[in-house]
Amino acid sequence: MRLYEHHIRIRSKTKDNVFVNIRLTVHVQVIPGRENLAFYSVEAPLKVIQSYVENCVERKIPLYNLDALFIERGTISQQLKSETDTVIEGYGWDIVSALITEIDPGAAMTEAINSIQKNQRLRVAVVDEAETKKMRRIRAAEAACESRRLAGRGLAEQRKAIVAGLRKSVTEMRHDIPGLSNDEVLNLLMINQYYDTMKNVTENSSGSLLFMEGATGLQSYSRDLRSGVAQVMR
């Protein structure tokens, strides 16, 4: 049987009050054995079919928001066919397919929709960028924390090594020079440490250094070193 293609345009309003122009493509054919009924029961069978299709679509469109209408167009097409088939068969015709091929909300609404989608994408991009910056700050803070932890650990190990060296030096000096008191041993170590420090300062400095006369600095250094070492050696 010959397949007839019929294009239908309908203007209707969605659930969210947007007027849309709907274009449908309907394929119909005569049911075999019902040719007389199809062509002689009504004067213009295709117009009758169009009226039923339009009526069904106009009842369906207000049930959907504009966004849902685009998503559910396939479902609406299936419902359209199933709901009109029974009536149309009474005229000797069969609806092979009824497809919503176009949904046009108009240029102004299309522009508004595009603007909304653009703004939504921009908001998502801003949120993503903020999250990225947040993660960078968190990672930087974690790295700084780990660096400080390792630095503190290294400093602790360094201090342990210094204490071990001092303990060894005290033991060796007492062994090599019997009769030295603790204060004498610490004074010798302090003087040696003091001059080693002066040497390192002068070797690693690119400028000029001025050392003031007087024993105040040495005495203060001696007192602090003696106090610190005495606490460590306990």
Q: Rg of the Cα trace of the chain?
A: 47
Whole-number pLDDT of residue 157: 81
- Distance, CA of 232 to CA of 213 (rounded, Å): 31
| Mean residue pLDDT across the chain | 79
* Helix axis angle, 216-233 to 107-176, nearest 10°: 90
**Whether residues 18 and 35 fall in one domain:** yes
**Tens digits of per-residue pLDDT, 109-127?**
777 777 777 778 788 888 8
- What is the domain extent for residue 151? 106-170
One domain for residues 185 and 232: yes
Mean pLDDT (whole number) for 53-64: 90
Q: What is the pTM of this model?
A: 0.46
Q: Which is nearest to 27 in space by CA: 73, 88, 69?
A: 88
Does residue 160 sit in the same domain as residue 201? no
Q: Is residue 126 part of a domain?
A: yes
8 Å CB contact between 192 and 169: no
pLDDT for 234 beyond 60? no
> What is the phi/psi pair of residue 190, to 5°?
-65, -45
pLDDT: is 157 or 174 the higher one? 157
Asked whether residue 175 is domain-assigned, the answer is no
User: How confident is the model over 157-171, as a mean pLDDT?
Assistant: 75
> In this structure, are 89 and 60 located in the same domain?
yes
Instruction: Output the pLDDT for position 108.
Output: 76
**Which long-range CB contacts under 8 A does 77-82 form with residues at least 24 apart?**
80/24, 80/53, 80/56
Integer Cα distance of 104 and 145 in angstroms: 58
Assess contact for 62 and 15: CB atoms under 8 A: yes
Residue type, 153: R
* Helical ranges in the chain per DSSP H: 35-40, 45-60, 66-71, 73-89, 107-176, 182-204, 216-233
The pLDDT of residue 153: 82
Using the 3D structure, point to which of 170, 200, 226 is the last residue of a domain: 170
Q: What pLDDT score does 225 carry?
A: 58
